Each structure stands twice: as structure tokens, then as C-alpha cells.
């Protein structure tokens, strides 16, 4: 009997270039000791962290996908395998077209999480007709997001059901905002490289696995946000995350915050 080799990838990781608490070098050093073969840096509306990670990846023996969690007008979209940054606030259909023009892949992030802007609230089921079909021609759905809060965890089950209905591939991502949360959820794919993963998503030959952040990890991330950004910064991150306020680009977003506490 021949068994296929499946590798793990975490396709949803945030760094200090947006609202994560770990720097790019810290993330790469941490991932080098894990069983993840590929990671995607997907900071909010910014690819500077992904670019830095891609430049440093070889030094750590980690393969990196440049990505971005784009704040579209209808909700968050994971753009993977991109080279150019995508602006926030545009319609999802326009953003998806821009990603595909770069030969990138589009994934609906946490599509039924009511705590953050998500495409499910704006008709994902009716506006997609399968892989790269419909008004929103997505490539996949995030079927398992490890960072969703306790009560809405059924949103992952809803995402998985919609993905099955639309015959869209399902991927998993940790939505990591700290080192400890990296790899909590992941994508399984045949092969070992980012190129293998790209082709596997296109074929629909990917699977989501893993679990959720623990209560302690939620508390830990909140404490690190306060230590690095202050209480005002924590409140602003919460408002930004809920879509109540719009994220502001700043020097810290451009250059990445320096982690002020051990991660």
C-alpha cells in the first residue's frame, strides 16, 4: 500500500507589521523548530512583513508565502502568492480580480465569524459558484480558523458546509497573533514546497486540521498587546478588528514594531 506524504502549512499568520505580537525574525526562528513546511505571513492590508520574511526565509530553512489579509468592502480576504500590496476598502470582486491578475490565490478568511468583517455576511454562498466561478471567484475557503472565539466556533462548521456546497477547497490557518498560536490550525497538502501547495489548492487536494487557541493564549496575546501598544492601542486594535474603525498606516506598520517582551 502506497501512502502519500502530506505536509503542514499555516496560511494565516500576523506579525508586528500589523496586529501580531512577534517580529518576523522571531516568527521564522519559532517555525524552524515546528513541523510546518510552509507558512504565509498575512498582515492586515500590508505585505511588508511578508516581503521581509521571504527575504530571510532561507536563513531559517523555512518556506514563506507573501500574503495579505485584505479588508475588502464586504469582509476579510486572504490573498496568497502575491507580489504587490492590495489597498483596503475596495469591493471584494475587484480585489479578487486584482489578486488573480498577480497569479495569486484568494481565500475567504473566517467567512462566518460575526466578530470580524467576513464575506459570509454579504452573501458568499450566493456570490460564488465554485472555484474561480461566480461574482466572487474564490480559490478556497478557510474552513478552520483557530482564532475564532468560543461562542462562534460553529462559524467554522458553517464555513465547511458552505465550502462543500460550493465544492471549494478548505484550508486551515491559525490566525496567529503570537508565537504560541502559530500552527494551532493548519493546511495539509501533498508534497513539501509552496509550489506544491499552490497546485494542491488549485486541484482541491488540501485538507484543514488542528484546533483552537486556548483560553490562556487569548489572555497572553491581550497582555502582549497592552505591553507593546498600551491600553489605548489594545482598544484601537479591537475596534479595527471588528471593522468599527479603519486601520491607519503608520511608521510602526511600515517598519514593524519591535517586540518589547519575550514572546
- Whether 262 maps to a domain, the answer reads no
Residue 2 belongs to some domain of the structure: no
Strands (E) across 191-246 are located at 207-210
- Can you give the residue range of the structural domain that contains 42? 7-255
For 184-246, give the DSSP string. Answer: SEEEEEESSSHHHHHHHHHHT--EEEE----HHHHHHHHHHHHHHHHHHHHHHHHHHHTTSSP
When mean pLDDT is compared across 21-30, 55-64, 101-110, 149-158, the lowest value belongs to 149-158
Residue 263 lies in a domain: no
pLDDT of residue 92: 98
Report DSSP state, residue 86. -
User: Does residue 170 carry a pLDDT above 60?
Assistant: yes
Please report, rounded to a whole number, the percentage of residues in the chain having pLDDT higher than 70.
85
- Looking at the DSSP bridge assignments, the partners of residue 189 are 7
User: 227 in a domain, yes or no?
Assistant: yes
pLDDT at 4: 82
Within a 10 A sphere around the Cβ of 157, how many other Cβ atoms?
Answer: 12
Question: What's the whole-number mean pLDDT along residues 27-51?
Answer: 98
For residue 1, being part of any structural domain is answered with: no
Q: Give the pLDDT confidence score for residue 256 in this predicted structure.
A: 59
CA-based nearest residue to 108, from 160, 151, 152: 160
Burial-class residue 251 by CB neighbours within 10 Å (0-12, 13-18, 19+): exposed
Task: Please report, for the domain that includes residue 105, its CATH number.
Answer: 3.20.20.140
Taking the C-alpha atoms of residue 98 and residue 86, their distance in angstroms, rounded to an integer, is 8
pLDDT digits (tens, 9 = 90+) for 229-256: 777 766 666 566 555 666 655 444 445 5
DSSP state of 35: S
DSSP state of 94: H
Residue 189 maps to a domain? yes
68 falls within a domain:
yes
* Per-residue pLDDT at 228: 84
Distance (Å, rounded) from C-alpha 57 to C-alpha 92?
Answer: 30
How many Å apart are CA 95 and CA 255, to the nearest integer? 25
Tell me: pLDDT of 261 over 50: no
Higher per-residue confidence, 237 vs 90: 90
The answer on pLDDT for 153 being more than 60 is: yes
Question: Which of the two residues, 229 and 24, has the higher pLDDT score?
Answer: 24
Spatial separation of the C-alpha atoms in residues 99 and 238, rounded to whole Å? 27
pTM of the prediction?
Answer: 0.90
Cα–Cα distance for residue pair 71/90, rounded to 1 Å: 8
Q: How many domains does the chain have?
A: 1
pLDDT at 46 over 90: yes
Mean pLDDT over residues 9-31, rounded?
97
3-state secondary structure of 108: strand
Average pLDDT over residues 90-110: 98
Query: Looking at residues 137-165, what average pLDDT do you find?
Result: 92
> Looking at the domain assignment, is residue 106 inside a domain?
yes
Task: State the Cα–Cα distance between residues 87 and 144, nearest whole angstrom.
Answer: 26
Cβ count within 10 A of residue 214 = 13
Mean pLDDT across the stretch 71-83? Answer: 98
User: Which helix (H) or strand (E) covers residue 64, if one does?
Assistant: strand 63-72
Across the chain, mean pLDDT equals 90
Amino acid at each position: 500500500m502506497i501512502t502519500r506524504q502530506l505536509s503542514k502549512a499555516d496560511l494565516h499568520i500576523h506579525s508586528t507589521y500589523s496586529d501580531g505580537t512577534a517580529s518576523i525574525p522571531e516568527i521564522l526562528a519559532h517555525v524552524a523548530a515546528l513541523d510546518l513546511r510552509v507558512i504565509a505571513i498575512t498582515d492586515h492590508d500590508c505585505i511588508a512583513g511578508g516581503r521581509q520574511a521571504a527575504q530571510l526565509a532561507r536563513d531559517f530553512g523555512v518556506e514563506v508565502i507573501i500574503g495579505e489579509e485584505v479588508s475588502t468592502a464586504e469582509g476579510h480576504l486572504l490573498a496568497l502568492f502575491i507580489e504587490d500590496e492590495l489597498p483596503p476598502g475596495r469591493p471584494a470582486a475587484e480585489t479578487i480580480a486584482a489578486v488573480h491578475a498577480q497569479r495569486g490565490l484568494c481565500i475567504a478568511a473566517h467567512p462566518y465569524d460575526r466578530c470580524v468583517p467576513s464575506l459570509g455576511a454579504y452573501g458568499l454562498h450566493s456570490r460564488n459558484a465554485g472555484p474561480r466561478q461566480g461574482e466572487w471567484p474564490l480559490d478556497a475557503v478557510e474552513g478552520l480558523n483557530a482564532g475564532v472565539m468560543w461562542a462562534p466556533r460553529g462559524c467554522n462548521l458553517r464555513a465547511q458546509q458552505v465550502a462543500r456546497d460550493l465544492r471549494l477547497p478548505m484550508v486551515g490557518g491559525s490566525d496567529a497573533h503570537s508565537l504560541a498560536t502559530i500552527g494551532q490550525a493548519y493546511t495539509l497538502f501533498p508534497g513539501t514546497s509552496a509550489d506544491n501547495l499552490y497546485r494542491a489548492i488549485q486541484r482541491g487536494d488540501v485538507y484543514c486540521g488542528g484546533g483552537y487557541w486556548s483560553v490562556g493564549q487569548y489572555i497572553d496575546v491581550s497582555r502582549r498587546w497592552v505591553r507593546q501598544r498600551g491600553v489605548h492601542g489594545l482598544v484601537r486594535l479591537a475596534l479595527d478588528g471588528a471593522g468599527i474603525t479603519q486601520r491607519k498606516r503608520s511608521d510602526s506598520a511600515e517598519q514593524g514594531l519591535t517586540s518589547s517582551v519575550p514572546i
